[in-house]
Each structure stands twice: as C-alpha cells, then as structure tokens.
Amino acid sequence: MNPDTSQPVPPQPPISISVPPIPSEPAPVPETPKTPRPSPLSKIKSFFANIKIKKGGESPVSPTTKMSIKRLVILLTAIFFVIIMVAVAFKLLMNKPAVVAPTPTPTPTATPEILVPSAYANDEDVLAIEAALDYLEGELKIVSLRDDELAIPLLDWEVSFEE
C-alpha cells in the first residue's frame, strides 16, 4: 500500500527481466588436504627415528647411509675443532703485546771543554814531561808480565822398559 494514496493499486502484470547469463565460474577443484610442511627439527627427529633399530628387527637404514652418516659426524666434529682452534689462535694473536719499535736512546754529547792555555802551555819543561809521559804510558800498555815462551819444557821423565 502507497502511503500517499489511499486507493488501492491495481494488480500489475509480472515483469520479466531478462538477465544475461552469467558465465559460470569454474568448478571449484576439490582441495586436497594440505599436509603441514615438516620443520627442520621434525626432520632431524624423523631422521634419527629412522635410524633407530627396531627391537628384534633390522635397521631401516642401509649400511651405505650409515657410513655416510659416520663420515658426516666426523667431518662436523673436525670442523668444530678447527673453528675452536682458529678462535683460540685468533684470541692469542689479539692478546699479543704490540711490538714496540726501539727508539734510539739519545747519546749525551759532552760539551767541549774550553781550555784556555796558561803561561806554561808551551814551557819546555812541561812539554818534556808530557813527552816522557807519552812514552811511559806506551810502555805500561805493552809490558808483558808473563813469558809464556819460557814456560818449563814438557819432557818425558818416565823412562822404563817394563810393561
């Protein structure tokens, strides 16, 4: 009923609306149930589970796989130790005290003594004394107090004809 008019609305023929056909959507593919992607931890767990020997049964892992596992373990252990060694060596090198380049110690240079000659600098007697001292000092240096060439001769004093 129209609220503005109080007259009843005559019945109207039905309206037909042609609707273009809607392209049918592709039929939904029935979804396969998704299996959860295994985490690395679960992989390792399953890996080790596989190698467990069942009680009373044979190992599910082939001997070839076993060998490769052993090799892998050995290789990993070796790598681990090498890393440790490298780390220790590195630490030692880092802790090594730095080489200090020697710096030359300054050699003290004596300031030249300024000598003012006296009135006796060229005195004959003084010069004669100086010359005598030169000679004497030379003699004191070369004097030999031990005549090694005059050491007592080593001779065989034990003459006998008995065995």
d(CA 71, CA 65): 10
Nearer to other proteins, 5 or 118 (CB): 118
Please state, as a whole number, how many other Cβ atoms lie within 10 Å of the Cβ of residue 99.
Answer: 6
Nearer to other proteins, 49 or 129 (CB): 129
Tokens of 10: 């005559």
- Given a contact cutoff of 8 angstroms between Cβ atoms, the answer to whether 60 and 54 are in contact is yes
Nearer to other proteins, 58 or 162 (CB): 162
Q: How far is the CB of 102 from other proteins (least distance, A)?
A: 35
d(CA 132, CA 138): 10
Q: How far is the CB of 127 from other proteins (least distance, A)?
A: 9
- Given a contact cutoff of 8 angstroms between Cβ atoms, the answer to whether 135 and 129 are in contact is no
- Residues near other proteins, by CB under 8 A: 115-121, 123, 125-126, 128-130, 132-133, 136-137, 139-141, 143-147, 149-150, 152-153, 155-161, 163
Nearer to other proteins, 4 or 147 (CB): 147
User: Distance of alpha carbon 75 from its chain centroid, rounded?
Assistant: 21
Number of residues in the chain: 163
Q: How far is the CB of 161 from other proteins (least distance, A)?
A: 5
Q: How far is the CB of 130 from other proteins (least distance, A)?
A: 5
